């Protein structure tokens, strides 16, 4: 197989069943590097190892964000939930997934990992998770595949700094850079409010 992979744990040591960190095998030499960033057969084998059903991707998204930009925590409600396969193709981000599956033993827990253009890791975020990231480098370009089309009428956000979720964003890495958050994300739902829906 051309990819190593593992489930992520929270800072409390709780393994969250769902997100998978995928590490490609990179071949480097004096000319540069080569790796397979996507392989359908390997992808299906990885998901089966975690008792997840392979899904088809229907859309690729590409964003550019400057240092200090925090996007999220975004998700789409049923009947249009999205799963995502996220990679940072330039720069570095701290990528986060929050479990919002109400019947999950890790409901309300989060996992985070650094994705960058050196490690070329990817994060699989299944349906039932809110997603966000913080840009660490001067700028970063993020590319991600989704299993459903974007639908503005079903898109929602959780508050990035909600104390009930308590994400440990690496804000110290920004140094003197200002945190940049959209008005929509500043006014996102609290986790308590989400739990009541």
* Catalytically annotated residue among 5, 74, 121, 131: 74
Q: Which of 5, 121, 131, 144 is catalytic?
A: 144
SS3 label, residue 53: coil
E strands, the chain, in order:
3-9, 15-24, 27-29, 32-34, 59-66, 70-76, 84-90, 92-99, 110-116, 122-125, 129-135, 139-146, 155-157
d(CA 7, CA 21): 6
The alpha carbon of residue 197 and the mean position of all alpha carbons in its chain are separated, in whole angstroms, by 23
Number of H helices, E strands in the chain: 3, 13
Q: Are 175 and 68 within 8 A, CB to CB? A: no
Cα–Cα distance between 195 and 129 in angstroms, integer? 14
Cα separation, 122 vs 97, whole angstroms:
13
Residue 5 is a catalytic residue: no
Q: State both tokens at 164.
A: 């009930």
Is 144 labeled as catalytic in the residue annotation? yes
Residues carrying an active site annotation: 74, 144
């Amino acid at each position: 197989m051309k990819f190593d992979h593992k489930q992520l744990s929270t800072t409390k040591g709780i393994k969250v069943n769902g997100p998978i960190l995928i590490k490609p095998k990179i071949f480097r030499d004096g000319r540069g590097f080569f790796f397979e960033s996507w392989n359908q057969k390997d992808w299906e084998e990885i998901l089966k190892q975690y008792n997840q059903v392979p899904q088809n991707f229907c859309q690729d998204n590409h964003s550019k964000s400057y240092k200090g930009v925090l996007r999220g925590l975004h998700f789409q409600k049923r009947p249009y939930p999205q799963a995502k396969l996220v990679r940072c193709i330039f720069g570095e981000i701290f990528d986060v997934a929050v479990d919002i599956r109400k019947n999950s033993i890790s409901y309300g827990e989060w996992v985070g990992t650094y994705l960058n253009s050196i490690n070329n890791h990817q994060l699989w975020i299944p349906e039932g998770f809110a997603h966000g990231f913080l840009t660490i480098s001067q700028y970063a370009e993020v590319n991600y595949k989704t299993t459903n089309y974007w639908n503005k009428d079903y898109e929602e956000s959780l508050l990035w700094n909600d104390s009930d979720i308590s994400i440990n964003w690496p804000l110290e890495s920004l140094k003197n850079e200002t945190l940049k958050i959209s008005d929509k994300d500043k006014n996102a739902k609290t986790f308590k409010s989400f739990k009541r829906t």
